């Protein structure tokens, strides 16, 4: 099944922070119902790298919407998996409407990234698909970008082990590990990080389903005594590092001694976790 067919444009998400020690047993349980995502086959740890550049306003409007638990909210990001010149960069809008997650995205050539981040629309030659829904997605991204005057704020990376339904896209279960973040203010889709901070000491388990919550997943939650929790990678990272680092792009993050000495301990207190 192609990557686009695996894409869940509308879904429900449940998240759990779990200890890495139980993931092997959980994998044995999951493989009775799902198959390994093709992009993890043959890779170390059955996982592939995921990179995102999040865009936000200078007031961090989308971050604060997450922290404040705003029911209807969105995030703007670039999603990519390597830095090869011929692979796409996806411009994505991830929206939450009540309890439903909706995603729209458009894959473009890397040469178009700076122009699109600056607020332009791609030419047909710069897009990887001529499907009208993809151009509609980049138009929506562009509208929201101008609406909040968004610009790059964060580079986020992690490794993802993904398990998917063998015949459709109805269920997807992922293990996200080594979630790292750093301030980033350039209109480029890079993979190298200067001084990243680790956001979560645990592994993030995400369960994504398009219709009803399957009974076997309910049994897995019971069997492994899982506790649903919030774990927004972007907003949690901003809180761990400190919001001020993302409001002023003139700060030289890479050369700051204070940053190099920071602890990667998770945030505690009122904002210990935020919902993505």
Q: How confident is the model at residue 212, as a pLDDT? A: 85
In tens, the pLDDT along 131-141 reads 999 999 999 99
Alpha helices in 60-213 (DSSP H): 61-67, 113-117, 132-148
User: Under DSSP, is residue 20 helix (H, G, I), strand (E, B) or coil?
Assistant: helix
**Which domains, ranges and CATH numbers included, belong to the chain?**
3-260 (3.20.100.30)
Beta strands in the chain, from DSSP E residues, in sequence order: 10-18, 35-36, 48-56, 73-80, 89-97, 100-108, 151-164, 171-183, 197-198, 203-209
* pLDDT tens-digit series, residues 52-75: 999 999 999 999 999 999 989 999
What percent of the chain stands above pLDDT 70? 86
74, 93 Cβ separation under 8 angstroms: yes
pLDDT at 248: 62
Give one DSSP letter per residue of 42-84, joined into a string: TSGGG-EEEEEEEEE-TT-HHHHHHHTT-SSEEEEEEEES---
Reply yes or no on whether the pLDDT at 91 is more than 70. yes
Judge whether residue 111 has pLDDT over 80.
yes
Give one word for 119, left, alpha or beta, with left for phi > 0 and alpha for psi -120 to 50. Answer: left
Residue 5 confidence (pLDDT): 47
Q: How confident is the model at residue 6 (pLDDT cuts 50, 70, 90)?
A: low
Q: Could you report the per-residue pLDDT of 191-241, keeping only the tens digit for each?
A: 999 999 999 999 999 999 988 899 999 999 999 999 999 899 999 999 999
């Amino acid at each position: 099944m192609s990557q686009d067919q695996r894409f869940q444009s509308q879904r429900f998400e449940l998240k759990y922070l779990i200890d890495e020690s139980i993931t092997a047993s959980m994998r044995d349980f999951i493989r009775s119902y799902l198959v390994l995502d093709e992009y993890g086959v043959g890779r170390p740890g059955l996982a592939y790298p995921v990179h995102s550049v999040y865009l936000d306003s200078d007031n961090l409007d989308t971050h604060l919407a997450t922290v404040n638990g705003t029911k209807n909210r969105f995030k703007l990001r670039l999603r990519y998996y390597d830095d090869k010149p011929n692979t796409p960069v996806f411009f994505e809008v991830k929206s939450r409407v009540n309890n439903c997650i909706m995603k729209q995205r458009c894959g473009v050539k890397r040469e178009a990234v700076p122009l699109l981040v600056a607020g332009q629309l791609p030419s047909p030659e710069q897009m990887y698909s001529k499907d009208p829904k993809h151009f509609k997605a980049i138009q929506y991204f562009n509208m929201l970008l101008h609406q909040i005057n968004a610009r790059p704020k964060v580079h986020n990376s992690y490794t993802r082990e993904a398990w998917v339904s063998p015949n459709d896209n109805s269920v997807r279960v992922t293990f996200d590990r080594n979630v790292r973040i750093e301030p980033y203010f350039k209109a480029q889709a890079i993979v190298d990080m200067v001084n990243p901070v680790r956001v979560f000491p645990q592994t993030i388990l995400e369960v994504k389903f398009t219709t009803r919550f399957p009974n076997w997943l309910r049994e897995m939650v019971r069997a492994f005594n899982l506790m649903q929790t919030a774990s927004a990678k972007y907003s949690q990272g901003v809180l761990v590092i400190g919001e001020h680092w993302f409001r002023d792009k003139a700060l030289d993050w890479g050369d700051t001694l204070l940053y190099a000495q920071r602890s990667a301990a998770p945030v505690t207190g009122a904002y210990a976790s935020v919902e993505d």
